[in-house]
Structure 1
Amino acid sequence: MPDQTVPEPVRSFLDAVNRHEEATFLDAFTEGGAVDDWGRVFTGREQIKGWSDEEFIGANGTLTVEEVEVTGAEVTVVGDWRSTHANGRSRFTFEVAGDRIARMTIREG
């Protein structure tokens, strides 16, 4: 069975996502943080919030973790994403900078 231990700060981030806590979700990113959602890049709090309002937190998204891989400051989580916007197995790769997330990249799982 794959390891499902998600290290901080990604674990707290995913907990916030699954609880639909927008402020905690947004605060998890560095000042210049970015989301790359299948090649569409949203940088900074305002752009990430706009994207999330429609496709992530605002779409009542939840992620059930199935696999976790840690390589240095990069954490990859594969799991079942469910929301009112999109559903299916997805791969979330997080670039961690200290106790925050510099970049989250979403691809097919």
Structure 2
Amino acid sequence: MPTIETPAAIQTFIEATNQGDAEAFAAAFTHDAELNDWGREYHGRDGVRAWDRTDNIGVQAHFELDAIEPGSSSDTYVATVTVTGNGHNGTGPMTFHLRDGLIASLRITP
């Protein structure tokens, strides 16, 4: 159960993934977003779309938000997410930094 209200961009990130909506997924990110998935880096919306195709909607990922807490700096949130699908499966933290109501960076760590 989330511990604070989930920011709209993070809610969109989860819902778009679960609905298989690649356009809504990419639109949740800033044009210059950075995504780091266990050390693999992707830049901009094109990078986000590439990751989405190979590691997210492209492998029928489904997200269940277990908890969300404020991060160590302003506009930063740490979400504990359970992932199922035909790619990575498991539970772990995703750290989001928001800017202007969109995801400016996402770090996925083990």
Identity %: 25
More helix by share: 2
Query: Contact conserved, 2:2 with 2:65, CA < 8 A, in 1?
Result: no
Tell me the alpha carbon deviations over residues 40-72 of structure 1, each in whole angstroms, 9 at most, x when there is no partner. 110012222122111111111111111110242
The two structures, once aligned, show a CA RMSD in angstroms of 1.6
Match of 1:61 in 2: 61
- State the TM-score, normalized to the length of structure 2: 0.89
Query: Contact conserved, 1:34 with 1:43, CA < 8 A, in 2?
Result: yes
Structure 2: gaps (5+ residues) = none
Provide the rounded CA distance (Å) in 2 between the counterparts of 1:5 and 1:82: 23
Structure 1: gaps (5+ residues) = none
1:4-83 → structure 2 map (5 Å cutoff): 5-71=5-71, 72-83=74-85
More strand by share: 1
Task: Tell me the number of residue pairs that the alignment of Structure 1 and Structure 2 aligns.
Answer: 108
Provide the rounded CA distance (Å) in 2 between the counterparts of 1:4 and 1:81: 20
SS in 2 for 1:58: helix
Residue 5 of structure 1 and its aligned partner are, at CA, apart by 3.3
Q: Which runs of 4+ in 1 moved over 4 A?
A: none
